[in-house]
Amino acid sequence: MSFDRTLEDIAAQAWAVMEEIGRLTGTKEEGITRPCYGEGEQIAAEKVTDFARSLGLELEPDRFGNLHGVVPGADPSAKAIMTGSHLDSVPGGGNYDGLAGVMASLATAAAALRDGGNRRSIRAVAMRGEESPWFGTAYVGSRMMLGHSTLADLGGLPRFDTGRPLQEHLDELSYASAPVMPISRETVAGFFELHIEQGPLLTAKNLPVGVATDIRGNTRYPEARCLGEYGHSAALPRAYRHDAVLAVAELALEFERFWEEAERHDPSCVFTMGKFGTDPSTHAMTKVPGEVRFSFNVGSIREEVIAQADALLSRLLDSITQRRGVRFEMGPRFGSLPSRLDPALIAMVEESAKAIGHDALRLATVGHDAAMFHQAGIPASVMLVRNANGSHNPRESMAEADFVLGARVLGGAVMLAASG
């Protein structure tokens, strides 16, 4: 049987296992919850280990709980090709963000084990804790696996729901004696990640698969506050007010204008204030609002657009503070630089899609584990599979046929890289 036929068969089995993991770790209405180093993520880890074993592929954990399955290549001195994604989900998320990439990578490795003939070894990896809500930072598993952070750096971070430190949650899973795997630019020639698309573009264009050209960078303030002064809504003339809602609204609308302007030369630019609220314990219809808590998030694939956003933010904070007599406490800033994904790997994804009769749409994407590989100097690629309803919500959708097709495109690209 050809590699592609074998992969098609195994991907259909992988789909069934993925649906089972979805049933075990959530409900359709409330969504899927697989906490980093928590119960749902561990259920997924055990299920994928059993599934891989049934296909002859042994998964081995590393010190950080990431699971690795290796298909040896004909040339043991050649660098490996890696593929994978993450097992966790956001609280109340969908089943496919992360897990689809894990299943497709395991299907790829299992098919290579049967019908491969690959020169380089292929390493499939199921990673931990990519989503930031659990410990307030993203990419926990890949970050430590690639040496960007150590367990000493992250071990003390409390999980938002249990309050217990990361180290305690990890220790419960007994990976203390597992090895730190040598994953670096010295040992890995390329990393491919399949991921559900988190926007609507593939559905809108009626295309099943895409390939990312860039990962957006961003400038983010998750816990900002604007402090004004509470007052009587009827008694206080405008000139005496220090209205926190109007102050933050001005900031929001100014940034919408910045976004409209930026979009003309940078369609990847995005601006969001996902959190924006007065305090229910002190607010009232008849009070001038004295405090607003909000988040601020600008993303782009262009470094200069992020720098312009930072500069505009600091100008606006000054001028709004002066004119409106309010005070901003922006809290910690988290930022990341944009990553340009590897052109040779993009070409391999496109060639693989073409070989089975599809054009992969080129588009920008958001942060994924692939960004950690890229930052470690390993060529990285993200391919995207159509999804109508966005991600990080229970309505995430993926058709089985699209998943199988995506796995075939991923597998084809991995084989091209592993033979080169």
C-beta of 263: minimal distance to Zn ion in Å? 25
Which CB, 139 or 294, lies closer to Zn ion? 139
Element (H, E) at 363: strand 361-365
Say which amino acid occupies 413: A
C-beta of 90: minimal distance to Zn ion in Å? 9
Which CB, 129 or 289, lies closer to Zn ion? 129
**Cα torsion 285, 286, 288, 292: sign:** negative
C-beta of 196: minimal distance to Zn ion in Å? 7
Which CB, 112 or 140, lies closer to Zn ion? 140
Give the other-Cβ count within 10 Å of 164's Cβ: 12
Work out the angle between the directed axes of helices 3-24 and 400-419 (0-180°, nearest 10).
130
Which CB, 108 or 391, lies closer to Zn ion? 391
Which CB, 102 or 181, lies closer to Zn ion? 102
Give the other-Cβ count within 10 Å of 381's Cβ: 29
- Local structure of 11: helix, strand or coil: helix
Q: Rule CB under 5 A: which of 193-212 touch Zn ion? A: none
- CB contact at 8 A, 84 and 127: yes
The site that binds Zn ion (CB under 5 A) totals a number of residues, namely 2
Collect all residues with Cβ–Cβ distance below 8 Å to 243 and sequence separation of at least 6: 228, 288, 289, 324, 326
C-beta of 366: minimal distance to Zn ion in Å? 8
- CB contact at 8 A, 189 and 78: yes
Give the other-Cβ count within 10 Å of 174's Cβ: 10
Which CB, 49 or 89, lies closer to Zn ion? 89
C-beta of 19: minimal distance to Zn ion in Å? 18
C-beta of 98: minimal distance to Zn ion in Å? 4
Phi/psi for 83 (5° steps) reads: -150, 145
Which CB, 61 or 98, lies closer to Zn ion? 98
Element (H, E) at 255: helix 244-263
Distance CA 17, CA 95 (A): 11
Strand partners, 219: 298, 335
- CB contact at 8 A, 166 and 135: yes
C-beta of 201: minimal distance to Zn ion in Å? 17
Q: Does the footprint of Zn ion cover residue 369 (CB under 5 A)?
A: no
C-beta of 368: minimal distance to Zn ion in Å? 6
Q: Rule CB under 5 A: which of 85-144 touch Zn ion? A: 97-98
The binding track of 50-89 with respect to Zn ion, each residue x by CB under 5 A or -, is: ----------------------------------------
Give the other-Cβ count within 10 Å of 34's Cβ: 31
Which CB, 118 or 336, lies closer to Zn ion? 336
Interface contacts to Zn ion, rule CB under 5 A: 97-98
